[in-house]
A and B are shown apart, each in its own frame.
Chain A
Amino acid sequence: MNNTLISYISAFLVGGVICSLGQILIDKTKLTPARILVLFVTVGVFLTALGLYQKVVDIGGAGATIPLTGFGYSLAKGTFSDVDKHGLLGAFTGGIRATAGGVSAAIVFGYLVAVIFKPKAKA
């Protein structure tokens, strides 16, 4: 099998497992989606800090970086790389720097579609 196909299969499997964990939490604990998202990002940050999430990323590729735990991974990784460069200051700059692209896109495009599109009428 070639590497591209393997990357798709591992992304599917790892991403599927992470989303299934979220589904188990929703069904078993009655946590609201907002709390699930907060939990996943925070867990992603701490697992990255412990060096564990990098292994999941190495196996799963986008299957590990696209779920919200991957957002936590980017926050933590950016923080560490900025601490390496700038010392303590990096703890305050790295997270936002590494995730700036996604957050800015979400803000700008979210704002634009809200101005342009109408929400579906609630039945």
Chain B
Amino acid sequence: MQQVMTKDEYKKYVDKKSPNSSLIRNIPKAFLVGGLICVVGQFFTNTFKGMGMEKDAVSSLTSIVMISLGILFTALNLYDDLGKFAGAGSIVPITGFANSIASPAMEYKSEGLVLGIGAKMFLIAGPVLVHGIGASIIVGIIYYLVTT
């Protein structure tokens, strides 16, 4: 005889089964992809250091190159596929920040250069910059008060 579950029973069943098993599958993927993106970053850092550049320039240039790569892969529609596999492994690195700018910019281009691309590119990057820069000003003021 076929066993029939009510919707509630099924939902409980799924909730019980899914969180841990999906987490166990997702973490290695996030670790692998996130780790590899950082290895690429390390490659550029080592290369620029080897060229005798000073420390601040090395870190700026590494960011610029990684962000450019993130945007290029987004433009070629490859970064979204990577994201489906990697989850946080592609969101957390700075390439994910680049993706969060290029992806809505491309998607909303039909709404125009100003309110389409210009506005929507900051859909996610805007909040990140607001909170990041805001936090840096707060710790900067505290640092000033403590050190003087």
Q: B-side binding surface: helix, strand, loop or mixed? A: helix
Q: What is the interface size of chain B, counting residues whose CB is below 8 A from a CB of the partner?
A: 82
Query: Most chain-A Cβ atoms within 10 A of its Cβ — which of B22, B31, B88, B98?
Result: B88
Interface of A is mostly: helix
Report Cα–Cα, A19/B31, bound state, in Å: 6
What chain B residues lie within 8 Å of A33 (beta carbons)? 91, 96, 100, 124
Q: Find out whether the CB atom of A15 lies under 8 angstroms from the CB atom of B88.
A: no
Interface residues of A (CB under 8 A from B): 4, 7-8, 11-28, 33-34, 36-38, 40-42, 44-46, 48-49, 60-63, 65-68, 70-72, 74-76, 78-80, 82-84, 87-88, 90-92, 94-96, 98-103, 105-107, 109-111, 113-120
In the complex, 14 of the A-B residue pairs with CB atoms within 8 angstroms, ordered by the A residue number, are A7-B45, A15-B41, A16-B32, A20-B88, A34-B100, A38-B127, A60-B38, A62-B38, A66-B93, A79-B139, A79-B143, A95-B133, A107-B101, A110-B121
